[in-house]
Structures are given as structure tokens and as C-alpha cells.
Amino acid sequence: MVDQSKITVARLAEMKRAGTPIAMLTAYDAGMAGVFDAAGIDCILVGDSLGNVIQGRDSTVPVTVDHMAYHVECVRRGARRAMLIGDMPFLSYSSESVAIETARTLMQAGAEMVKLEGGSAVVDIVSRLSGLGVPVCGHLGLTPQSVHQLSGYRVQARAPEARARLIEEAGALERAGCAMLVLECIPRGLAAEVAANLGIPVIGIGAGARVDGQVLVSYDALGIGSGRRPRFVRDFLAGSESVDAAVRAFVAAVRERRFPADDESYADPS
Ligand code: KIV
């Protein structure tokens, strides 16, 4: 039975304190959002991954604020209980004024939190948005909007300097007012260290089980799509008899820390 009370920023903080892992999936339309919400997903991310899975593009770079606002509006009509997070797309937070305009658009479309990628370059923007009453989720590690600078999608923060930088930037984002942080594709020991050091919930994708919650792109979690499947993806529809059952299986696996297994994450360099 899903606890029907609304997921708020305070409730997410309480889940972190209580050691209750947070289950998050992406959604892009009202129908899927409604199924996820009823199945007990805590946070629905309208990710700019819609560039890949909805628009069929090679990266998230072409996604615009208008695209995001349209899908946030759609998801808003399906989600009730879950916290709705809207991704700020590529270069839509390149200055404080641009970021405020983007956040305004996404929050007025129905988001309850915005997510942006990056570390020290976005600390002042996080501080400004959060000072204006906008809950912000940070995103460190593999930041897909920087794919061209990173020269591809690969595990981040393996080298000692990159590891130290990520720890420092995670702390800076929390101090700037982030309400939550996503860590993507980093070694699991590093992710666990960051989660243990921060007071805000840390949600992993390809970051191991010892964080405060897990997020997957829903298309990956439901086995939709062809091509090489990243190591951290598990198909929850395989062996489930419906999408509802698959999402309930994902929520249960996250809550019980049965997902991800070690072979679905990355070891720290020795
Ligand atoms: O856009 C997205 O779906 C994301 C997740 C991979 C965390 O940012």
C-alpha cells in the first residue's frame, strides 16, 4: 500500500534522516507519470534525457526550455504524490538572469524543483535560485550536457584530483542551498562518501547502492530501446507482468537496497 502523503522537500530531507531510500524515475507524459505516481515513486524527473528517448537525438544538447516546459506540463497532469523535478536544459542557466527565467518557466509549468548540472560554475546560480524560493537539485559526475567537453559518456572522478574536486563541489552545492544532489556514473565508494558527508539527499545513477536513493531513465528501467545497455541499468519489466508491477519492483528494490548490485556499479580505483 503506497503512503499517499505528498512528497515535499521536507519529506525528502526526513527520508534521508530516517535512512529510507528515495525512488526516482524520469517521465515525460501524463500517462506514465500517473502510473509511476500510483506505484509509489517518490520523485518524477522530467529529464532532458527526453532529447534521447523522446526526440531520438544523440545527446541532450538540442533540448530547449520550451521542450522542457511542454513535458513538465504534461507530467504535472499525471503526478499527484511525487515531487516533480524539471531539468534545466543546456545553457539555460548560463547567467543568473537566464537561470531565473528558466526556473520561472519550469516552476510555472508545474515543477516543484529544478535540476541543473555542474559544480563550482553553478554555485552562485544555485544560491540565487534557492534564495528566491526555488528548490534546486544539483547534478555532478557524468553531466550529459557536457558530453562534448567530456568526449563521451564514461565513468567520472576516478583520478585522485577529480575525486577531491567532486567532494569539494558537492559540499559547495549543499552550502549554496541545493535541496538534493544527483551523482551520475562515479565509483560507488566515492558516492557513498559524498552521501555520508552531506545533509541533503544524494540520489545515484551508476553510483552504487550506498547513497540516499536511485534514479533511472524510465525507458531504461522498462527495457525500451536498443543498443548497448549501460552497466547500471536494470530492466524491471523483464519478469514483471505490467508496467505498474515493474515500477513497484523498482521501488521495492531501491527501498531494500537490492538495486543496484555491485556489478551494476563501478568499483573505486585501488
Ligand atoms: O535527464 C535525465 O534523465 C537525468 C537523469 C539521468 C538523472 O538527468
* Domains of the chain by start residue, with CATH: 9-264 (3.20.20.60)
What is the structure's pLDDT at 270?
87
Cα of 48 to ligand 1 centre, how many Å?
6
Rounded alpha-carbon distances, angstroms, from residue 58 to 14, 47, 53, 150:
37, 15, 9, 15
What is the structure's pLDDT at 102?
98
DSSP 140: E
Nearest alpha carbon, ligand 1 atom 4: 47
pLDDT tens digits, 152-187: 999 999 999 999 999 999 999 999 999 999 999 999
**Ligand 1 atom with least separation from CA of 26:** 3
Classify the C-alpha dihedral 140-63-178-96 as positive or negative: positive
Tell whether ligand 1 has an atom less than 6 A from the beta carbon of residue 182.
yes
* Residues taking part in catalysis: 184
Tell me what percent of the residues of the chain surpass a pLDDT of 70. 100
Confidence class for position 2, pLDDT limits 50, 70, 90: confident
User: How many residues are recorded in the chain?
Assistant: 270
Cα of 186 to ligand 1 centre, how many Å?
14
Q: How far apart are CA 102 and CA 22, in angstroms?
A: 26
pTM beyond cutoff 0.85: yes
Please name every residue paired with 181 in a beta bridge, in sequence order, or none if there are none.
138, 202
